[in-house]
Copies of this chain bind each other. A is one copy, B any other.
Amino acid sequence: MKIADKKALRRESIIDVSLHLFATQGFHKTTIPDIAKKLKMSVGNLYNYFSSKDILAKEIIKYTSEVLGDEIREVNQLEISTKEKIKKIVELYFRMAKERPEMIEYFLRVYLSHREVFSDGCEGMVCVSSFITEIMIFFDDGVASGELRNQDFFSAFGLFMGYLGGMVFLKGENVLPKDIESYIDDISFNIYNALKA
């Protein structure tokens, strides 16, 4: 394997481990030595890959946004109704919340609430644009096909994503009486009703 590839792999493994630790233990409770230890890597070497903890946090949100964006793009490209797309998106969101909860938790618990960290370099959601763009496409397509009411994008975006985020937050607090995936139908239905033409 080439050295460049090896470096890229190492880089991704750092993102992976940090994402996990930040999401589960919190950004401030997770120290650089914690991350290095889990990676069996020296602290100094970690800094060869990411020159500060804040920069690492920003790279993680970009990465996360891309992964989520890619998944939604696939839904956008399906030849199905907007109603069905909504369900697909809710499904994939909750599936991720179950299988790779770190990603959604990172969004909710790190990105959303450490403005000091993201204010410099991630202003105006530029670091989550991959994700936002796909939601925008979903919405525009729905409006274009006449299935969704034409309204301010952020009003629709806030509903969709605030709702899903809120549910995952409730899941994280262990207050949901049922498995989160059992809410898929109800929630898709509510979203569709809210947004339909």
Does A2 sit at the interface, judged by CB under 8 A?
Answer: no
Known: A164-B162, A166-B159. A113 touches B124 (CB 8 A): no
Q: Cβ of A5: which chain B residues have Cβ within 8 Å of it? A: none
| Assembled-state Cα–Cα distance A194/B193 (Å) | 5
- Asked if A108 lies at the interface with its beta carbon under 8 angstroms from chain B, I say yes
A contact residues, total (Cβ < 8 Å): 48
Most buried by B among A156, A169, A194: A194
Min CB distance, A35 to chain B, in Å?
17
Chain A interface (Cβ < 8 Å from any Cβ of B): 25-26, 28-29, 108-110, 112-116, 123-125, 151-152, 154-159, 161-167, 169-170, 172-178, 183, 186-187, 190-191, 193-196
Give complex CA distance A84, B95 in Å: 35
> 8 pairs across A/B with beta carbons < 8 Å?
A26-B113, A109-B112, A109-B115, A124-B174, A154-B177, A158-B163, A162-B167, A165-B165
Q: Are A155 and B169 touching (Cβ within 8 A)?
A: no
Cβ–Cβ < 8 Å partners of A28 in chain B: 28
Q: Which of B115, B173, B195 contacts A26 (CB 8 A)?
A: B115
Chain B min CB distance to A175 (Å): 5
CB distance from A185 to the nearest CB of B (A): 10
How far, in angstroms, from A109 to B163 measured CA to CA in the complex? 17
A123 to B108: give the CA distance in the assembly, Å: 18
Q: What is the CA–CA distance of A151 and B123 in the complex, to the nearest angstrom?
A: 38
Known contacts A124-B173, A162-B164, A162-B167; 11 additional CB pairs below 8 A are: A25-B116, A108-B112, A113-B113, A156-B190, A158-B163, A158-B167, A158-B170, A159-B191, A162-B162, A162-B166, A162-B169
B residues in contact with A177, CB < 8 Å: 152, 154
CB-based contact A158/B175 at 8 Å: no
Closest B residue to A176 using CB positions: B154
